[in-house]
Structure 1
Amino acid sequence: MAGRAPPGQAGAVPHRAVRVVGPVLLADSPTPELQTLSRAQYDLVEYALAGAGFALLAYTLYSWTSRGEVGVRYRPAVLAGLCIGAVATVSYLLLFLRWSSGYDLTDVGYVPDDQARLALSPRYVDWSVTVPLLTAELLAVCALAGARVRALRASAMTAAFLMILTGHLGAQIVDGGRDTTALVGWGLVSCVFYAYLYVALIGAVRSSMPAMGREAAVSLRNATIVLLAGFGVYPLVYAIPVFVDVTASWLTTIQLAYSAADVVAKVGFGVLVHKVAKLRTAEDVVEGVDTHPEAVWVGNVEHSRAVLPPVRSGEERATPPVVGAGDPRRTGEHR
């Protein structure tokens, strides 16, 4: 039976020392993916992957259907969020399929096969695209303009990509993640870009908050906290193989932590950024800086009425729909 020593030799070959998986022999290694899991551990990770994937799919659909609620000036933030949700949804579909095909159920639990080493790799491909887009999404609702925001966006997206790339080298590429020296070295390089992102994004947000209304500023601050707190989970999980012996429990913890952090950093952050974009759209309409064809609502509060662009010479404006007597916009209930 796979993973179990012959009778009478149980003490000669420890279970963690050598595992026979079909025709493949896997030597003991700190690589997290190559761990035999209990049924409960396997099912828990499967649940987390499916749940995170569905949450990201729902966020993608929400971003698509609500993109018109935001003015053109802040629509790049919504489009960035839409791309993030779509890429992450596909990534979690791949993760789920890799997880399903990477482990075989035996009498000792779920034993990794030769595909198990790929159980974490789709995450780094996902992050290489989505983490730079997350920085662009945040900067799109900040009160920065011109060459300053273009330079900051370029440097932040580059730093975000290099942060993921260097982490990937240490965790997956160099000796398959088995070299502790490479894991620590590339991890420290990744942390340099990580620190730069914190400084750059916090600086951009702090300089933007005085230029917007109080509610938008508070929402922008909260979005930044959610994003940076989510980012903080990744280096902690990355460092697990450096400080502890990687076991099945740690593999389960890694998958659960990454899934939760992805939902927080992409869905939670994205919803807050969408709120900031709507509030700033309403501010622009009220101040006469911009127009918007629909009233801007946040929750059940109307922040601005619909304002259509001026009618050009020779054009006719469509008659707006009549507001019913029971509509709160007529009664002023939400004003």
Structure 2
Amino acid sequence: MSDTPTPELQTMPLGLYDLVTYSIAGAGLALVAYLLYSWTSRDEVGARYRPAVVAGLCIAGVAALSYLVLHLKWDTGFDLRDGVLVPNAEARATLYPRYADWSVTVPLLTAELLAVCSLTGARARTLRFTTMAAAFLMILTGFLGSQVLAQGRDVGALVLWGCISTVFYAYLYVALIGAVRASTGSMSVEAGTSLRNAAIVLLATFGVYPLVYAVPVFVDVTPAWLAGMQVAYSAADVLAKVGFGVLVHKVAKLRTAEDVAAGVDTHPESVWVSNVHQSEAVLPGTQAEHRSTRFEDNTVDDAPVFATHPAYPHEHHEVEHLPERDPGSRVSAGRYGAAWTADRA
């Protein structure tokens, strides 16, 4: 393979060049849209599952920035000559920024999934550390084989480092599936199904990358291969980050509603999923009044109605935390608090 150009330095026909431009721009815009969606909907998720939202925001931000760099390098990396686009020095940067992106976002994807699982304590911390480390090493070893050693043109290096990378991928596969299986029994049917779907999407899209990585082992790198690789990577990024992220967000909302309905947590607004009312708003201090909502056969019972909810939540907050008072006492509340005053009449 040493007598053929490196993967990024292919002379591109106009049609294939435009196809890659479209895929990079489309994926970048999808990531920006997901970033805005995650930011504006972050308060729909309870504090217990908020780390999943934070991880999703970081993933979307890093990936969107990476795609901006990719688009700029792809746009300036080729010169039009005689009806074809000839690569220049900038074209070298049309592939390795993806590895920089994946080095950050792939570990965060594993953390995002684990944040909505039911594992807790030392087990959760250990699994989060090992899966994030394995995800990073999976990307790093793949980068060594495809970009660093002989500029990705050494078949032996591709195979060796590809196999090493696959070991980390196999560990991720086993560890994440185990975490999902251990968690689905402690949540509703709908939440468990969404969690399994999220894991399937993530692990299936992870499988796209080694398949594309392995192509140069069997066939020569051509302009069509470069275009197919860029399109495949862009599509996989959207599925793994946007599609997976939306499913995880749904799980986080469903689990938030379950915790509120069970009276183990509060949430300042009603939880709706796919236009279905899952739970009422419950403010801190009202758990004792809250009648639990039961999840049976993927359906939700009527949520409790709080007839005395005030117009301003902060006023409700102040009153709910007051101590018990005697029947003959009265309350005197100001802007910053409230105090019981005994009625000594």
Counterpart mapping for 1:277-296 below 5 A: 277-296=252-271
C-alpha separation between the residues in 2 aligned to 1:38 and 1:96? 17
Q: CA deviation at 1:318?
A: 8.0
| Number of residue pairs matched by the alignment | 292
Query: Are residues 1:69 and 2:44 paired?
Result: yes
Q: Report the CA distance shift for 1:38/1:77 in structure 2 as closer, same or farther (over 3 A).
A: same
Amino acid at match of 1:304: S
Query: Are residues 1:267 and 2:242 paired?
Result: yes
- Which residue, out of 200, 206, 220, partners 2:175? 200
2:219 corresponding residue in structure 1: 244
**What is the identity percentage for the equivalent residue pairs of Structure 1 and Structure 2?**
69
Query: Are residues 1:214 and 2:205 paired?
Result: no
| Structure of larger gyration radius | 2
C-alpha separation between the residues in 2 aligned to 1:253 and 1:108? 21
1:33 corresponding residue in structure 2: 8
Query: Are residues 1:122 and 2:122 paired?
Result: no
- Which residue, out of 75, 78, 89, partners 2:64? 89
Q: CA RMSD in A?
A: 1.6
C-alpha separation between the residues in 2 aligned to 1:63 and 1:125? 22
- Which residue, out of 151, 176, 181, partners 1:176? 151
| 8 Å Cα contact 2:14-2:83 kept in structure 1 | no
1:145 corresponding residue in structure 2: 120
C-alpha separation between the residues in 2 aligned to 1:30 and 1:272? 40
Q: CA deviation at 1:273?
A: 0.1
Q: Secondary structure at the match of 2:272?
A: strand
- Which residue, out of 7, 19, 22, partners 1:47? 22
Query: Are residues 1:320 and 2:311 paired?
Result: yes
1:112 corresponding residue in structure 2: 87
| 8 Å Cα contact 1:30-1:245 kept in structure 2 | no
1:302 corresponding residue in structure 2: 277
- Which residue, out of 115, 124, 133, partners 1:158? 133
TM-score with structure 2 setting the length: 0.82
Amino acid at match of 1:233: V
C-alpha separation between the residues in 2 aligned to 1:267 and 1:114? 32
Structure 2: unaligned runs, 5 residues or longer: 287-307, 314-345
Amino acid at match of 2:123: R
Q: Which 4+ stretches in 1 moved above 6 angstroms?
A: none
Q: Secondary structure at the match of 2:89?
A: coil
C-alpha separation between the residues in 2 aligned to 1:94 and 1:182? 28
Q: Between 258-267 and 167-176, report the one with greater CA deviation.
A: 167-176
Query: Are residues 1:233 and 2:197 paired?
Result: no
Q: Secondary structure at the match of 1:211?
A: coil
Q: CA deviation at 1:287?
A: 0.2
Amino acid at match of 1:184: V
C-alpha separation between the residues in 2 aligned to 1:278 and 1:297? 8
1:255 corresponding residue in structure 2: 230
Q: Secondary structure at the match of 2:266?
A: coil
C-alpha separation between the residues in 2 aligned to 1:318 and 1:251? 60
C-alpha separation between the residues in 1 aligned to 2:270 and 2:260? 10
Q: Secondary structure at the match of 1:302?
A: strand
| 8 Å Cα contact 1:30-1:241 kept in structure 2 | no
C-alpha separation between the residues in 1 aligned to 2:4 and 2:61? 34
| 8 Å Cα contact 1:77-1:138 kept in structure 2 | yes
C-alpha separation between the residues in 1 aligned to 2:5 and 2:256? 51
Amino acid at match of 1:64: W
C-alpha separation between the residues in 2 aligned to 1:172 and 1:29? 15
Q: CA deviation at 1:29?
A: 2.4
1:314 corresponding residue in structure 2: none
Q: CA deviation at 1:30?
A: 4.8
Amino acid at match of 2:106: V
Q: Secondary structure at the match of 1:288?
A: coil
